[in-house]
Structure 1
Amino acid sequence: MAHPLHFVSTEAIKEALQNNDPSLAVAKIQELLERENNIPLNIGITGESGSGKSTFVNAFRGIDNMDEGAAPTDCDETTMEVTPYPHPNYPNVLLWDLPGIGTPDFPADKYLERVEFKRFDFFIIISDTRFRENDVKLAHEIKKMEKKFYFVRSKIDIDLQNQERSQREFNKERTLSKLRGNCIQGLQKAGVVSPQVFLVASFDLQLYDFALLGEILERELPEHKKNALLLAMPNISLEVINKKKKSFHNNIKYWATASAAVGAVPVPGLSITVDVVMLVGVVTQYVLGFGLDSPSLKRLSNRTNVPYNDLIDIIISPLAATKITPDLLLKVIGQVAGSVALIAVEEGSRFIPILGIPLAMGLSFISTYNILKTILNMLAEDAQSVFKRALGLNTSV
Structure 2
Amino acid sequence: MEDPLGKEYIDTFKELLQTNVPAATAKIKAYLEEQDNIPLNIAITGECGSGKSTFVNAFRGLDKKDKSDAAAPTGVVETTMEVNPYPHPNFPNVTLWDLPGIGTTNVPAAEYLEHVGFERFDFFIIISADRFRENDGKLALEIQKMKKKFYFVRSKIDHNMRDEEETQSEFNAEKTLSIIRENCVDGLLKHKIESPQVFLVSSFHLHLYDFHLLTNTLEKELPEHKRDTLLLAMPNVHCEIICKKKEALKAKIKYLASLSALTAAVPAPGLSVAVDIAILVKATNKYKHTFGLDSKSMENLALKSGVPLTDLRAVTTSNLSAGVINKKVIMKLLVVSGFQVASLAAEEVSRFIPLLGIPVAAALSFTCTYKALEDCLNMLAEDAERVFKKALGSNSSG
Residue pair 2:42, 2:95 contacting (<8 A) in 1 also: yes
Aligned counterparts of 1:11 and 1:300: Cα–Cα separation in 2 = 50
Mapping of residues 248-259 of structure 1, within 5 Å: 248-259=249-260
Q: Which amino acid aligns with 2:244?
A: K
In the alignment, residue 309 of structure 2 is paired with which amino acid? Y
TM-score (norm 1): 0.91
2:86 counterpart SS class:
strand
Aligned to 1:15: 22
Secondary structure of 1:315's match? coil
CA 1:198/1:104 → structure 2, altered by over 3 Å: closer, same or farther? closer
Residues in 1 aligned to 2:251 and 2:213: alpha-carbon distance in whole angstroms: 23
- Residue 307 of structure 1 is matched in structure 2 by 308
With the length of structure 2 as denominator, give the TM-score of the two structures: 0.91
Give deviations 1:125-160, integer Å, cap 9, x for gaps.
000111000000000000000000000000111001
Match of 2:182 in 1: 181
Flag the structure with more relative contact order, 1 or 2, with Cα contacts below 8 A and sequence separation at least 6.
2
TM-aligned CA distance change 1:13 to 1:40, over 3 Å: farther
Provide the rounded CA distance (Å) in 2 between the counterparts of 1:149 and 1:30: 35
Q: 1:127/1:330 Cα in 2 relative to 1: closer, same or farther (>3 Å)? A: same
- Offset of residue 165 of structure 1: 1.4
SS of the equivalent of 1:204 reads coil
Output the CA distance in 2 between the equivalents of 1:275 and 1:306: 37
Distance 1:13 1:226 in 2: 32
Structure 1 counterpart of 2:91:
90
Aligned residue pairs total 376
Residues 16 and 225 of structure 1: CA distance in aligned 2, closer, same or farther (over 3 Å): closer
Is the partner of 2:102 in helix, strand or coil?
Answer: coil
For structure 1, the 5+ residue unaligned runs are: 1-9, 18-24
The CA distance in 2 between the partners of 1:99 and 1:112, in whole Å, is 11
Aligned twin of 1:50:
49
Q: How many Å apart are 1:321 and its aligned residue? A: 4.3
Structure 2 gap ranges (5+): 1-16
Q: Does 1:348 align with 2:355?
A: no
Q: Distance in 1 between matches of 2:148 and 2:53?
A: 22
* C-alpha distance in structure 2 between counterparts of 1:187 and 1:239, whole Å: 31
Distance 1:124 1:185, change over 3 A: same
Residues 308-343 of structure 1, C-alpha deviation per residue, up to 9 Å, x if partnerless? Answer: 111111111111242221222111122224110111
Alignment check: 8 A CA contact 1:12 1:28 kept: no
Using the alignment, how far apart are the partners of 1:12 and 1:205 within structure 2?
A: 50
* 1:326 and 2:327 matched: yes
Q: Which residue of structure 2 aligns with residue 63 of structure 1?
A: 62
| SS of residue matched to 1:151 | strand
Aligned amino acid, residue 56 of structure 2: V
Q: Give the corresponding residue for 1:265.
A: 266
SS at match of 1:202: coil
Contact (CA 8 Å) 1:29, 1:278: kept in 2 or not?
no
CA distance in 1, matches of 2:73, 2:360: 58
**For 2:18 and 2:385, how far apart are their aligned partners in 1?**
37
Aligned partner of 2:279 in structure 1 is: 278
What is the CA–CA distance in structure 2 between the aligned matches of 1:201 and 1:321, rounded to whole Å? 31
Aligned-residue sequence identity (percent) comes to 58
Deviations 1:191-250 (A, max 9, x none): 000000000011000001000000000011011111110011000011000000111111
Displacement after TM superposition at 1:75 (Å): 5.1
C-alpha distance 193-203 of structure 1, shift in aligned 2 (>3 A)? same
Distance 2:62 2:104 in 1: 29
AA matched with 2:210: D
Give the whole-Å Cα distance in 2 for the aligned partners of 1:206 and 1:175.
Answer: 18
CA contact (8 A) 2:81 2:105 kept: no
Distance 2:384 2:233 in 1: 14
Instruction: Summarize deviations over 1:351-381 as a string: whole Å, max 9, x none.
Output: 1111101101111111011000111111111
Q: Distance in 1 between matches of 2:388 and 2:20?
A: 38
Seen in structure 2, the aligned counterparts of structure 1 residues 242 and 58 have a Cα distance that, compared at 3 Å, is same
CA displacement at 1:121 relative to structure 2: 0.3
Q: Which amino acid aligns with 1:371?
A: A
Q: Residue by residue, what CA displacement relative to the aligned partner does 1:84-135 show, whole Å, maximum 9, x if unpaired? A: 1111111111000000113344321100001000000000000011100000
Per the alignment, in what secondary structure is the counterpart of residue 42 of structure 1?
strand
CA separation of 1:104 and 1:392: change in aligned 2, threshold 3 A: closer
**CA–CA separation in structure 1 for the residues paired with 2:21 and 2:248:** 25
CA 1:78–1:11 in structure 2 vs 1: closer, same or farther (change >3 Å)?
Answer: farther
SS in structure 2 opposite 1:387? helix
CA distance in 1, matches of 2:20, 2:370: 18
Amino acid corresponding to residue 99 of structure 1 in structure 2: P
User: Is contact 2:129-2:154 (8 Å) kept?
Assistant: yes
Distance 2:198 2:138 in 1: 16
- Could you tell me how far apart the structure 1 residues matched to 2:63 and 2:33 are? 28
Aligned to 2:297: 296
**What is the SS of the residue equivalent to 1:283?**
helix
Structure 2 Cα separation of the partners of residues 378 and 327 of structure 1: 18
For 1:321 and 1:357, the matched residues in 2 are separated by 37
Aligned mates of 1:311, 1:337 — CA distance in 2: 31
3-state DSSP class of the match of 1:256?
helix
SS for the counterpart of 1:334 is: helix
Is this contact kept in 1: 2:65–2:303, CA < 8 A?
Answer: no
Match of 2:130 in 1: 129
2: CA distance, partners of 1:230 / 1:336: 31
The one-letter amino acid paired with 1:153 is R
Q: CA RMSD in A?
A: 2.0
Change (3 A) 1:327 1:13: farther
* Shift, 1:167, TM fit: 1.2
Counterpart amino acid of residue 256 in structure 1: A
String of CA shifts for 1:149-204, please: whole Å, max 9, x gaps: 00000011100111111111111100000000110111112100000000001100
